[in-house]
Each structure stands twice: as structure tokens, then as C-alpha cells.
Amino acid sequence: MAPRAPRVFSNPLHIQIMSQEPVKEYFARNSGRTTKQIHEAPPGSLYIWCARDTSYLRALVNAYGRQDLEITNIDTLRYTADAHRVCQGRIFPFIVVDHAIHMGDTEFELLYIICAECIK
């Protein structure tokens, strides 16, 4: 089965998804990709982290003085109820999807829900 090409989003959706690279690249620590995403995120953005435990990301966000970022975990892109929970009456200027998240059909569908409900 041939790998699918990464999906490309245009800027009007206000989300950032870094291009998908080989799986061995996904879990590399100290590559600086998450740090770059943190620095480039507009103030007040929603950051979707690649794991359930967000403590590492919260430590990075605090170290870089980016407490303005709203952090949620990978379950937001796995369960419809979590996607709706994140959006409850909140508006975000931008959504950042961590570079290590592998986006399948379910994740894309729930990302569309979040975009429709949370971005104005």
C-alpha cells in the first residue's frame, strides 16, 4: 500500500500542519520542530499536542513564556466529544497541530469540526 501524500491546507483555515515526513522523524527529540511551532504560533492559538500527557509541552510553553497558548491533547483529534469540548464557546485565531501527529481520516474530520466551531 503506497503512503498517502500529505494534505495541504490554505492559510484561510488558520491552521498549521507541518508536512508529513517518514515515521522515524516523528518522535525525534531535540529537533526543535515543536519549539519552532510554539514560537511561530500567534497569541491565543490552540495547540494540539501529539500525546495524552501534555506535561512536556506545558513545560516548553512555560519556558518560552507562551502561556497564552491553549493546550489540548491528541484525544481532541480522536473523539468527537473531545473536539466539541475544546470549542465550547471559545474562538481561537489559529490552530497548531504538532508536527508529530499522524493525520488520518478521523483526525482530519475532527480538525474540520474544530475549525468550523473555533475559528472566526
Query: What is the residue-level pLDDT of the chain in tens, covering all 120 positions?
Result: 554 444 444 444 455 554 444 334 444 456 788 999 999 999 999 999 999 999 999 999 999 999 999 999 989 888 888 888 888 888 999 999 999 888 888 888 889 888 888 886
Gap between the Cα atoms of 116 and 113, Å rounded: 5
Instruction: Give Dmax over CA atoms of the chain in angstroms.
Output: 43
In a domain, residue 13? The reply is no
Residue 11 maps to a domain:
no
The pLDDT of residue 10: 40
Rg, the chain, Cα only? 14
Number of domains forming the structure of the chain: 1
In a domain, 81, yes or no: yes
99: domain range? Answer: 30-118
What's the whole-model pTM score?
Answer: 0.75
Inside any domain, residue 92: yes
Of 33, 34, 108, 19, the closest CA to residue 71 belongs to: 34
Asked if residue 72 is part of any domain, the answer here is yes
Residue 110 lies in a domain: yes
Instruction: Examine residue 3 and state whether it is found in any structural domain, yes or no.
Output: no
